[in-house]
Structure formats: C-alpha cells, structure tokens
Amino acid sequence: MKSELLKILRESPEYISGQQLCGHFGVSRTAVWKAIRQLKDEGYKIEALKNKGYRICEIPDIMTAEELKSRLHTEWMGQNCIYLESVDSTNTCAKRLAEEGAPAGTLVVADEQTGGRGRRGREWTASKGSNIMMTLLLRPRINPGNASRLTLLMAMAVAEGIQKVTGLPSGIKWPNDIVVHKKKVCGILTEMSSEIDYINHVVIGAGINVNQECFPEEIGATAGSLGMELGKKICRAELAAEILGELEKLYNIFLQTEDLSALYQNYNRLCVNRNREIRVLEPGNEYTGTAEGINEAGELMVRRADGSMARVYAGEVSVRGLYGYV
Ligand code: ATP
C-alpha cells in the first residue's frame, strides 16, 4: 500500500482527501493516517489540511523499496525489492538470497556499501546516501557460455537510463563502464553460479555515482558523478526505475537469440571506443588498434596496425584510450 500511496500522492497536483484514499485502498481512515505518518517519518514532507486532504510537497532522495516500487514500470524486474541501509556488497547479498531460493527479478538496493567490489576483486568505492548500489538476480534458461553478454545489456540500460533521466551524453567504455564527459560514472559486476550446462543464477550489480561530490585521490582523475557533470542533484529512485525498465525490454529481446544480433548496433551507437584508437590490456599482453565496435557475440572487434582483426572477449581484459582513460 505504501508504494502505491506514494505514487498517488506524487502524481496528484491537488490535495487528495482521506476519504478518497480510504475508498481506493479499502481501508480505514486510521490506516491511511498511519501510512502517511510512516512516510513523514521517512522524510517525506506531506501537508494535511482539514476538509482538503493530503498533498506531498517534498520528496527526499531515498532509495527505499517503497520509493523505488512506486516508480517502477516493469512487469517483474525489481518488483521483489530488498532495501538495506548498509551492506557489505549488494552482489554478495543477492547471491545469498539466490541460494535461499529468491525469485528471478529480485533486486537488492543499499544506501551504503562497505565492501563494494569491481571486476577481478578490485575495490568499488561509494559514499553513503548519494549513489545507486543495486544488484539484480536473474535465472536465465540459457547456455552458461552466453551469460557474460548480460553485462552488456546492463551497460546499455544504464547508459540509456542516464540519457533519459538527466539528458547527459552517457556512453559505454567497452565492455561495461559507463562514462559521461570521459569520466567513469558507473561500474558493473556480473557473477554467475552454474553447472556446465545449467545456470543456477546470475547477479548483475551496478554501482552508479549519482550525487557524490568528491572522490578519493586514487580515482579522482577518472571517476565522476552525474550530479557533478549536470550541476544539480538527481533523483536516484527515478533513475534506478528507468534503468530497470530499459533492462527488462533488452533482456526479453536477448532471450530470443541469446546473442546481441538485435542489439549490437544499439550498443555500438553508445560505445565511446568505437572508431577510436585503444590499448587492449590482456594479462601479459598489451597491444593497440582501432576499435570497430562489438559483434553479435559481444566481442570487441579491434583492427590492428598490420590490418588483422582481433576479437576481444571481455573476461580478463581492459581497454584504455591511447592517451587517457577513454
Ligand atoms: P577498467 O577495465 O576500466 O579498469 P573495470 O571494469 O575492470 O574497469 P570495475 O570492475 O568496473 O573496473 O571497477 C573497479 C575499478 O573502478 C577500481 O579498480 C577503481 O579504479 C575504479 N573505481 C572504484 N570506485 C569507483 C567509483 N565510485 N567511480 C569510478 N571508478 C571507481
């Protein structure tokens, strides 16, 4: 009831009477009043006028399950939402829930992450209360060998969600970093539990720098936040809901073929490496070339100086621009 109440209050330009709300939810006036009081306790500013009813006048930037669900337009992604004020890692929590039988589409969201991780065990830092830290649990009936492509879907969903909500020109640094004005604003970590031919579960975590205002020195040159690039605060729940909506659409398309045949052109339009000189950093091997975009398998096609084409598989590889991060 709380998430629907929030949606009604937010979308109504006028006061809504207690009576109307009682009728809508089929509950008593006291029940409505209690729900309103709970929302006020959480930080929502709600005006209550005798003979007129309720009106919301300030929406705090919070990422609770109710706030997020009140903004979701998905059929199933994120509808089972677990919000935690603080957690070691949303991916670790989602994996635990998956082992316990949580359904596909379960979303873990946290306001603070104390042990955030990136690829290859690297650290993901994020300040409390200003970023999106979320992990989606999926149980796709696909070949485990194709699951790494899901990471690329999340990258597209984040890039497109950012563009829609903020208007910022977000792009993807292959395979799955999101950049705005050459700054990394999001990292994505996909982890899987599988048998040889069967996926138990996949968790896809996204850490998005939304309203963070400064970064530790080590990453200061490459990291940025959407708020810093836009010059104003952004509503985290609105952005997270938009991303999940995009992802659900992309996922349905992906499942039809298990590859990116219907999506790679869209990915390439967003890819900031495309037609640029890059350095490919493979463990123990580094080379340069021109990135020509991804193919239907999600591999990066890199034209080397001798004219040969390298197909780069995401696994252990990073790419950089010739003179900087992008
Ligand atoms: P790349 O290939 O560009 O090195 P990656 O995909 O391997 O990136 P991730 O797993 O996305 O890296 O993230 C981990 C790295 O991101 C860290 O090693 C650090 O350099 C950087 N990083 C950590 N926290 C943040 C943050 N909040 N914003 C931007 N960058 C960060």
pLDDT tens profile 105-143: 999 999 999 999 998 889 999 999 999 999 999 999 999
191 lines ligand 1 (CB under 6 A): no
Domain boundaries, the chain: 2-58, 65-269, 273-319
Average pLDDT rounded to a whole number, residues 286-311: 96
Centre of ligand 1 to C-alpha 117, Å, is 9
pLDDT of residue 13: 86
| Percentage, residues of the chain above pLDDT 70 | 100
Mean of the per-residue pLDDT values of the chain: 95
pLDDT tens profile 43-63: 999 999 988 999 999 899 999
Of 13, 50, 18, 51, nearest to 34 by C-alpha is 18
Q: What is the residue with the minimal CA distance to atom 22 of ligand 1?
A: 124
**Is a pLDDT exceeding 80 seen at residue 315?**
no
CATH 2.30.30.100 fits 273-319, yes or no: yes
pLDDT of residue 164: 98
177 lines ligand 1 (CB under 6 A): yes
For residues 180 and 237, give the distance between their C-alpha atoms in angstroms, rounded to a whole number.
Answer: 20
174 lines ligand 1 (CB under 6 A): no
Does this model's pTM top 0.85? My answer is yes
Of 72, 87, 10, 9, nearest to 244 by C-alpha is 72
Residue 103 pLDDT level (bands cut at 50, 70, 90): very high
Q: Which fold has domain 65-269?
A: BirA Bifunctional Protein; domain 2 (3.30.930)
Does this chain's domain 2-58 share its CATH topology with 65-269? no
125 lines ligand 1 (CB under 6 A): yes
Residue 309 pLDDT level (bands cut at 50, 70, 90): very high
For residues 155 and 174, give the distance between their C-alpha atoms in angstroms, rounded to a whole number.
Answer: 9
CATH 1.10.10.10 fits 2-58, yes or no: yes
122 lines ligand 1 (CB under 6 A): yes
pLDDT of residue 322: 79
SS (H, E, C) 271-302: ECCCCEEEEEEECCEEEEEEEEEECCCCCEEE
**Is a pLDDT exceeding 90 seen at residue 318?**
no
pLDDT tens profile 231-280: 999 999 999 999 999 999 999 999 999 999 999 999 999 999 999 999 99
E-strand ranges in the chain read 45-49, 53-58, 81-84, 107-110, 132-138, 170-173, 177-180, 183-194, 199-208, 276-282, 285-294, 300-303, 309-312, 318-321
| Percentage, residues of the chain above pLDDT 90 | 90
pLDDT of residue 182: 94
pLDDT of residue 325: 83
Q: What is the residue with the minimal CA distance to atom 20 of ligand 1?
A: 219
Centre of ligand 1 to C-alpha 146, Å, is 23
